[in-house]
């Protein structure tokens, strides 16, 4: 039996962390936790996520409808985005949305985080794609995120921010920290003349470590380009999973990305 009050307190603590780390300004950001198949706790709309107490937290069902909310509090305006992730990823227990400075700058510039520059980012995230722009609070954002939700645990939201999800509240928050740290390092190394990228072989070794650790969630290490045929991914594949050993695993991040974008453009143009 989950202790709802305890989880509400944990949501408030994570709200403080994202606020204190400058990952949100003003009343931005939102957090949710799945407590049963049809019950979710979420932050209320329009409050600073750095100054919440447990009675602020709302309870909704799988459609985002209010089950319980104290007077003066309504669920986050982005609840549809959270609910779409839970619907499409039954393994996910928590979703965090924030506007961390560097990751959001990349999302605004339209640059996904695909360069393999440090082991921790490659192991934790692989890479971070950008879901196309959608108007906040509408189904446009959930629809855009849906394209990536089966392949990644972290997505940039174009001209908006970042979204992370995982099998616990702390893990979803930690992914947000990892995304921001990766984005910050990528930004700074670009100022210093450009990062020295890890080689394909180095990336493959890190992917292998991730597989050996049995890390949960979705990650490019678990994808095979031979099977995904235009599906969004990047970096490369060790060929250890579902392809029958004929995967070269040689495409580098940018080649892979260009291939996917070209496939999308061709599809959209109906060619």
Catalytic residue set: 78
**174 near ligand 13P, rule: CB under 6 A:** no
**260 near ligand 13P, rule: CB under 6 A:** no
Least Å distance between CB 30 and ligand 13P? 4
- The vertex-169 CA angle with 168 and 171, nearest 5°, equals 65
Identify the sign of the CA torsion 208, 209, 210, 215.
positive
**140 near ligand 13P, rule: CB under 6 A:** no
Compute, in degrees rounded to 10, the torsion defined by CA atoms 1, 12, 170, 58.
50
Least Å distance between CB 37 and ligand 13P? 23
Q: Where are the beta strands (DSSP E) in 12-109?
A: 30-36, 39-42, 58-60, 66-68, 94-98
Among 4, 16, 17, 27, which residue interacts with ligand 13P (rule: CB under 6 A)? 27
List, as own/partner pairs, every contact residues 67-74 make where C-beta atoms lie below 8 angstroms and the sequence separation is at least 24, other chains included.
67/39, 69/44, 73/44, 73/47, 74/44, 74/45, 74/46
Among 22, 46, 110, 248, which residue interacts with ligand 13P (rule: CB under 6 A)? 46
Annotate 152-189 with b (16+ C-beta within 10 A) or e (fewer).
Answer: bbbbbbbebbbbbbbbebebbbbbbbbbbbbbbbbbeb
**45 near ligand 13P, rule: CB under 6 A:** yes
Site map (CB under 6 A) of ligand 13P, residues 52-91, x = contact = ------------------------xxx-------------
Among 38, 136, 150, 255, which residue interacts with ligand 13P (rule: CB under 6 A)? 136
Q: Which is nearer to ligand 13P, 47 or 215 (CB)?
A: 47
Q: Which is nearer to ligand 13P, 76 or 204 (CB)?
A: 76
Residues that bind ligand 13P (CB under 6 A): 27-30, 43, 45-46, 76-78, 136
């Amino acid at each position: 039996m989950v202790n709802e009050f305890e989880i509400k307190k944990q949501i408030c603590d994570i709200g403080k962390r994202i606020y204190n780390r400058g990952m949100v300004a003003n009343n931005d950001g939102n957090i949710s936790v799945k407590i049963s198949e049809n019950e979710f706790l979420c932050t209320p709309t329009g409050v600073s996520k750095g100054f919440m107490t447990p009675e602020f937290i709302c309870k909704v069902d799988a459609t985002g409808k209010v089950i319980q909310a104290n007077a003066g509090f309504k669920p986050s305006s982005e609840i549809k985005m959270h609910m779409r992730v839970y619907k499409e990823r039954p393994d996910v227990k928590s979703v965090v949305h924030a506007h961390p400075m560097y990751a959001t700058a990349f999302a605004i510039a339209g640059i996904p985080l695909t360069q393999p520059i440090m082991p921790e980012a490659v192991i934790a995230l692989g890479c971070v794609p950008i879901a196309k722009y959608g108007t906040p609070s509408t189904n446009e954002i959930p629809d855009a995120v849906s394209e990536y939700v089966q392949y990644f645990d972290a997505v940039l939201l174009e001209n908006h921010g970042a979204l992370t999800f995982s099998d616990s509240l702390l893990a979803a928050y930690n992914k947000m920290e990892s995304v921001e740290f990766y984005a910050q390092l990528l930004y700074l190394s670009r100022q210093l003349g450009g990062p020295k990228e890890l080689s394909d072989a180095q990336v493959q070794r890190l992917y292998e470590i991730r597989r050996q650790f049995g890390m949960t969630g979705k990650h490019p290490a678990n994808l095979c380009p031979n099977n995904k045929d235009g599906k969004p991914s990047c970096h490369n594949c060790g060929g250890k999973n579902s392809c029958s050993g004929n995967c070269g695993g040689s495409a580098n991040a940018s080649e892979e990305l260009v291939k996917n974008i070209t496939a999308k453009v061709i599809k959209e143009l109906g060619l």
